[in-house]
Amino acid sequence: MKQTTQDNINLLVGQRIAELRKKKGLTLEKLAYENDLSKSTLSRIECGKVDARISNLERIAAGLDISLKELFDHNSFIESSERLRTIVWG
Half-sphere exposure in the Cβ direction for 18 (13 Å, CA): 16
**Residue type at 82 in one-letter notation:** E
**Residues 84 and 7 sit within 8 Å (Cβ to Cβ):** no
- Amino acid 84: pLDDT: 59
- Amino acid 63: pLDDT: 96
Average model confidence (pLDDT) across the chain: 85
- Mean pLDDT over 35-56 rounds to 94
Q: Tell me the per-residue pLDDT of 58-85, one tens digit each, with 9 for 90 and over.
A: 999 999 999 988 888 767 666 666 665 6
Lowest average pLDDT, out of 11-15, 20-24, 54-58, 79-83, goes to: 79-83
Q: Say whether domain 5-89 belongs to CATH 1.10.260.40.
A: yes
- Amino acid 66: pLDDT: 94
pTM recorded for the entire structure: 0.79
**Residues 56 and 37 sit within 8 Å (Cβ to Cβ):** yes
**Residues 17 and 24 sit within 8 Å (Cβ to Cβ):** no
Distance of alpha carbon 82 from its chain centroid, rounded?
Answer: 16
- Mean pLDDT over 35-60 rounds to 94
- Rounded CA separation 37/51 (Å): 15
Helix, strand, or coil here: 3? Answer: coil
Helix, strand, or coil here: 58? Answer: helix
Domain residue spans in the chain? 5-89
